[in-house]
Each structure stands twice: as structure tokens, then as C-alpha cells.
Amino acid sequence: MVKKALLDDPSDPEIRLLRIFKAVVACRGLAAAELELNISRSTISRHLKELEERLGLVLCRRGRAGFALTPDGLRVHDSAQRLLEALDTFRTEVRDLRAGMVGTLALGMFDKIVSNPQARIGQAVRDFRRQAPEVLLNVTVGTLGDLEAAVIDGRLQLAVVPEHRSSASLDYVDLFGEEMYLYCGRQHPLYGVSPAAFGHEDLQDYDYVGLAYHSPNMEATHRFGLRRQARVSDQEAVLALILSGCYIGFLPDHYADPFVRQGLIARIEHADAMYEVRFRAVLRRSWRQSRLTATFLKTLCEAHGAQGI
């Protein structure tokens, strides 16, 4: 029995519950929404239950038979869509009506891209600051899934992430590339070994460290048939395990370079042991962009010679 608790004046936590409910409906179930929102299925289920308790309504049926909205759920979803779109429009309009370009711009960046010479984010920030010197920048560094989820639910206005799967909730702008090579530590058996001494299949004999979430790194792991014996959350953890001499792993060439020059790690010179990643700016598709977001996106595109949305 659902507890009766009317949601007369929605607060920020309740708005977030409505956004999660909207995403679950758009994904047609909890399983697909798990990837879209980057939170576990059990957490999504708990949020849906909390929303139902706050509304005093049963919104959906979920279980072995699949996901389906109840009649009440269908009406709530339609109303939630109108509410969230109106709320986003209101917030954007109010920001833009303020005198000058002021406020906070929340940005996200993927791990270890600053040392990439193709990434001209510093130039974009400098150009943006010339136009909006009073704006407070709030920059978050995170994983691909965390950053995309934060853009979708409005915690970030824009993020720069590696290209992977595309979400129907986001717009993408291609910016720059990055090359990933396979490395080993100084104590590893492959350190200093000529590529003529081993073949592609030999790489599968060594323990490999890879990123634990859906990403180009995970795709490369499966494509090359590497034996993943360690899972980590970011590039720094990959490097730490490579330095142990126990694992091989992919790193961006610009990030690995100073450690290579010190003789601490070495690139495994094999034709198949690399892949390229493209980086994109991501923004919410359904949201009219604020003046701050649009201005920063423009400077980002100009810095990278990219086409806008």
C-alpha cells in the first residue's frame, strides 16, 4: 500500500526524482536507465518507490513481466515533462535577464586531458573570461558516465568527454582526438622487448588493467582480447598498476610521456596495441542553452576549430 503524501510544492530533491522517473520512461525500463543515469538498478528502483510514496500513487509496474506505466503513471509522466521543461526554461530565462554575464557556469572534464596538446580548453577558458569576467567557474573532473549523467540531470551545463555511445538526451560537438597506447612497467617481462619477438596473441598472456566502466577503453579490451585482471576508475590508477610491473594497460601518449622519459614505463611497440579516442562537448538536448553556456560553447568550438550545434 502506497503511503499518501501529496507533493504540493516540489523541492529540488523531488524535482530530481521526477527527472529520474522521466529518464526511466524514456529508456522503457530500469535496465536501460541504469546506463543512461549511471546509477544502479536498485538505486533507481528505490528512487521510484520514494516518488510513489511522495505522490501517493502507483506509477509503474516493474518486475519479470517488464516495465509498464499505470494510468496514473502515464498522467504523472505527461505532467512531469511539462513541469521540467517549464522549470528549465524559467531558470534559463531568469539567468539571461540578469544584467551582464554573471552567475556560475558548471563544467565537467574527463580525466587527464589537460596535457593533451590537441585539447585547447585553457584557450577557451581565457577567451570566455574576457567576455564574462564576473562568472564563477565550477569545474568537475570525473568519469564518462558520471559527467554525462550530471549534464542530463542539470548539475553540469557542459562537459568534455570521450566519444562512446550516444544518448538521445544529449547534443554532441566533436572537438579533438587522443591516441592511446599499450604500456608496461620497467619490471614487466615485455619491457624493452622487440615487437618482432611476439605476436598479437602473446599480449593475451599478460595481466591487463582496464577502466571499469563503459568506455572506448572497454571496447578496446574486448577487441584485442586482453585478459583484464584489474579494474580501475581512472587513468592515474591505470598508471599506478603499470608502474608495479605486474600489468599492461592503455594510457594517453601525452600523459605517459614523462614516465617514459624517466625509464619507468615503456610503450609496447605493437601495431595492434593502440586505439584513437575522439573527445566531444556534451550538452542537454532538450534544454534551451543559457547565455553563459552558449558563450562558452562558442569559445570552445573556436579554440578547436569545431562546428557548433
The span from the CA of 247 to the CA of 102, in Å, is 48
What pLDDT band is residue 285 in, cutting at 50, 70 and 90? confident
- Shared domain for 260 and 194, answered yes or no, is yes
Question: Per the domain annotation, does 6 fall within a domain?
Answer: no
Question: Per the domain annotation, does 4 fall within a domain?
Answer: no
* Residue 4 three-state SS: coil
β-partners of residue 105 are 137
- Number of domains, the chain: 3
The span from the CA of 263 to the CA of 254, in Å, is 15
A 10 A CB-CB count for 90 gives 10
* Residue 121 three-state SS: helix
Answer whether residue 255 shows pLDDT above 50.
Answer: yes
Helix axes 12-27, 30-37, angle to 10 degrees: 120
Cβ contact 34:53 at 8 Å: no
- Shared domain for 168 and 295, answered yes or no, is yes
- Shared domain for 255 and 195, answered yes or no, is yes
Answer whether residue 99 shows pLDDT above 50.
Answer: no
The span from the CA of 261 to the CA of 251, in Å, is 15
CATH label of the domain that carries residue 136 = 3.40.190.10
- Shared domain for 71 and 125, answered yes or no, is no
- Shared domain for 110 and 255, answered yes or no, is no
β-partners of residue 161 are 280
Q: What is the mean pLDDT of the chain?
A: 87
pLDDT digits (tens, 9 = 90+) for 32-49: 888 888 889 899 999 999
Question: Per the domain annotation, does 23 fall within a domain?
Answer: yes
What pLDDT band is residue 3 in, cutting at 50, 70 and 90? very low
The span from the CA of 305 to the CA of 175, in Å, is 8
Domain limit, last residue, from 91, 124, 159: 91
Answer whether residue 7 shows pLDDT above 60.
Answer: no
Question: Per the domain annotation, does 167 fall within a domain?
Answer: yes
- Shared domain for 273 and 185, answered yes or no, is yes
Grid cell locating 130 = 574576457
Q: Identify the DSSP state of 215.
A: S
Quote the pLDDT of residue 103: 83
pLDDT digits (tens, 9 = 90+) for 56-98: 999 998 877 788 999 999 999 999 988 888 887 777 666 665 5
- CA torsion through residues 110, 111, 115, 118, sign: negative
The span from the CA of 256 to the CA of 79, in Å, is 51
Quote the pLDDT of residue 10: 60
Cβ contact 166:144 at 8 Å: no
Answer whether residue 268 shows pLDDT above 70.
Answer: yes
Question: Per the domain annotation, does 74 fall within a domain?
Answer: yes
- Shared domain for 183 and 232, answered yes or no, is yes
User: Between 130 and 63, whose confidence is greater?
Assistant: 130
Cβ contact 95:45 at 8 Å: no
CATH label of the domain that carries residue 259 = 3.40.190.290
One-character DSSP codes across 136-175: EEEEEEE-HHHHHHHHHTTS-SEEEEE--S--TTEEEEEE
Grid cell locating 161 = 568527454
Question: Per the domain annotation, does 7 fall within a domain?
Answer: no
Question: Per the domain annotation, does 2 fall within a domain?
Answer: no
**Can you give the residue range of the structural domain that contains 241?**
177-277
Question: Per the domain annotation, does 286 fall within a domain?
Answer: yes
- Shared domain for 194 and 268, answered yes or no, is yes
